[in-house]
Structure 1
Amino acid sequence: MIKTVVGSYPVLKKQQPQNFKEKVLNKLGLFDEFKKSMNRAIEAQLESGIDIISDGQVRGDMVDIFTSQMYGFDGKKVIDKIEFLKPITLKDLKYTNEYVKSKNPNIGVKGILTGACTIASSIRVEKYYSDNKDESLIMDLAKALNKEALAIQNYVKVIQIDEPILSTGLYDMKIAKKAVDEITKGLSIPIAIHVCGNVKDIFEDLNEFNVDILDHEFASNRANLDILESCRKKIGFGCINTKLKTIDPVDSIKGLLSEGIEIIKQNPYINDDLDGNIIIDPDCGMRLLPESVAFGKLKNMVVAAEEIEKELYNK
């Protein structure tokens, strides 16, 4: 079973230039104050045994990373038609990909896009669109995100669309599906959608989305276990509770995984191909956790997943 992450990792304070070379780069406007955070995030994921890692999403929160680089925004205020200007995450993903390949060519990188509905829900509409639920706003965001996805797809193994707002019921699922259809146009790699929270009420809609993987949280939302029997996609199984600032014990992670696997075995769409259809990951991003806790959670998650595999397949 593949082990991955949802995305974000704890961020160090912005680094100041320390040596002569860094000070020169800073004078030239070339010093990257987030590089150390990115390196720490990459190394932590590699050391913990993650198979498909992220760049740590260190440059800002999940919305600001995108709104700060799209035309039509002033901060998180919409002041004009939303348009794609240039690739936003490409540089960091290229760097992460090169870094990883130099360490272990078998490790993959995940591209992460904050979904159109979640971005729309987090901004203030001042001009051009009527409000945060304006379908034109959502679709213009989706068109911009599609261009981002096309720019990064050659450097990643999978692209994940983050849409946590969907579990709240605040957005029309037909419009959300239309937006995901737009974002995924022309892509030739696997696509995941991550929706945290309780997804039981929207799960049948999500089953119809044009994605390969449905990724949800089960450690902090055990009610979601009920969806496993009828999922018609690969399952991203969130098994560590990212809301708690304590390290999940291996035995509790194994217990949750075992419970989920027993339900999944009854799923006619998955049958016996557990390895190919279950992806192990945290419930959500880990940006707000202490760094030592985030690493401990990932390490225990990998240990638990590997022990479960041994028990299932006598590996």
Structure 2
Amino acid sequence: MSKAYFINKVLATTVVGSYPVVKAGGLKSLFDPLHSAVETAVADQIGAGIDIISDGQVRGDMIGAFAGKLPGVKGQEVIGKIQPAASAITVADTKYTISKFPKVKGIITGPSTLAHGLHISTPMYRNKEELALDLSAALVVEARSLEAAGVTLIQIDEPILSTGIADLAIGKQAVEQIASAVRVPTCMHVCGNIGNVIDEILKYNVNVFDFEFSKNQANVDIISRRDLTGKMLGYGCVDSSSEEIETVPEIRKRIEKAVEYFDPKILLIDPDCGLRMRSREAAYWKLKNMCEAAKEVRLAL
């Protein structure tokens, strides 16, 4: 199977990554107050029927969780030259997840998104572009650690790319520095309306592009006019921004629309974005209904 088609299942389901943080009490939580939240996120994703799960990204927001561990960053301030973290940032939670389920996605916040989430307080960097390239060099170490841990896929989250704020050429260089450093397939997640940036983004050398389609219906038309040869498409078909739980028929309709436009073999079915801000109940049922809808469409094929 080529790197692009790394899961042998039509309309396989996955998550964009984050899950609500469900803390538990007890003795165990004294040593690691968030481990129970990882356990809950993993168990819920497995229970919902997801094919490629994540560790739930429960240890912080996408900027702080990574930047807070990198030498050269203090709080939101860049105070010196960026260096790789002293030890792997996400690997312990990822290893736990792999111990519970065979197919796990490792997740890294993208260099451009990190650079734009930080404030430069050192003459070491003249601009966000220089910062992004050093961040990507530091994150290569994390990507290789995730690969060594046994992940199925590494996702690089670059929501900033749809906004027009980030330099897309530098963004490409930074993402590809990470993607080319590993042998496992790589995915890039970009949410929002991608109309203004899609032609540049599709030049990025990753195996999967993941976009939101339920909240951004226009993206279907935009992508369907582009050549995706050899790439897979993460198809966001559940609204992550709302507590409202879509029904199985509603989600099924969205997936059927995807199948009209794209070869089902290249589609990965997931929510638009992370589910961290949702209640546990909403997050679980959104995933459960999404898996059921994907299954129905798969059977109809």
- Between 1:250-259 and 1:227-236, the stretch displaced more is 227-236
Give 1:135's aligned residue.
Answer: 129
- Larger RCO of the pair (alpha carbons < 8 Å, separation 6+): 2
Give 2:224's aligned residue.
Answer: 228
2:209–2:234 CA contact under 8 A, matched in 1: yes
| Identity between Structure 1 and Structure 2 (%) | 41
Code of the residue aligned with 2:278 in structure 1: it is: L
Residue 156 in 1 paired to residue 151 in 2? Answer: yes
Give 2:161's aligned residue.
Answer: 166
Give 1:63's aligned residue.
Answer: 63
Give 1:42's aligned residue.
Answer: 42
Give 1:98's aligned residue.
Answer: 99
2:112–2:129 CA contact under 8 A, matched in 1: no
Distance 1:175 1:5 in 2: 27
2:70–2:84 CA contact under 8 A, matched in 1: yes
Give 1:295's aligned residue.
Answer: 284
Where 2:73 maps in the other structure, the secondary structure is strand
Distance 2:297 2:289 in 1: 12
Give 1:73's aligned residue.
Answer: 73
2:129–2:167 CA contact under 8 A, matched in 1: no
TM-score (norm 1): 0.88
Q: CA deviation at 1:205?
A: 1.1
Which ranges in structure 2 are unaligned for 5 or more consecutive residues? 1-10
Residue 82 in 1 paired to residue 79 in 2? Answer: no
Q: CA deviation at 1:12?
A: 2.1
TM-score (norm 2): 0.92
> Per-residue CA shift, 1:230-261, capped at 9, x if unaligned?
24121000000011111011111111111122
Give 2:32's aligned residue.
Answer: 32
Where 2:81 maps in the other structure, the secondary structure is strand
Give 2:5's aligned residue.
Answer: none
RMSD over equivalenced CA pairs, Å: 1.4
Distance 1:205 1:298 in 2: 31
Give 1:305's aligned residue.
Answer: 294
Give 1:250's aligned residue.
Answer: 248
Give aligned pairs, total.
286
2:156–2:186 CA contact under 8 A, matched in 1: yes
Give 2:53's aligned residue.
Answer: 53
Residue 147 in 1 paired to residue 116 in 2? Answer: no
Distance 1:130 1:207 in 2: 28
Distance 2:104 2:272 in 1: 18
Give 1:217's aligned residue.
Answer: 212
Give 1:104's aligned residue.
Answer: none
Name which one, 1 or 2, has greater alpha-carbon Rg.
1
1:263 to 255, 261, 266: 261
Residue 6 in 1 paired to residue 4 in 2? Answer: no
Where 1:237 maps in the other structure, the secondary structure is strand
Distance 2:188 2:69 in 1: 22
Code of the residue aligned with 1:11 in structure 2: it is: V
Distance 1:228 1:303 in 2: 25
1:81–1:128 CA contact under 8 A, matched in 2: no
1:228–1:260 CA contact under 8 A, matched in 2: no
Distance 2:151 2:50 in 1: 15
1:229–1:263 CA contact under 8 A, matched in 2: no
Code of the residue aligned with 1:42 in structure 2: it is: V
Code of the residue aligned with 1:230 in structure 2: it is: R
Where 1:198 maps in the other structure, the secondary structure is coil
Distance 1:181 1:61 in 2: 23
Distance 1:41 1:142 in 2: 28
2:116–2:128 CA contact under 8 A, matched in 1: no
1:108–1:156 CA contact under 8 A, matched in 2: yes
Q: CA deviation at 1:172?
A: 1.2
> Per-residue CA shift, 1:145-177, capped at 9, x if unaligned?
111101111320000000000000001111110
Q: CA deviation at 1:186?
A: 2.5
Code of the residue aligned with 1:176 in structure 2: it is: G
1:146–1:185 CA contact under 8 A, matched in 2: no
Q: After TM superposition, where is structure 1 displaced by more than 6 Å over at least 4 residues in a row?
A: none
Q: CA deviation at 1:125?
A: 1.1
Distance 2:32 2:128 in 1: 37
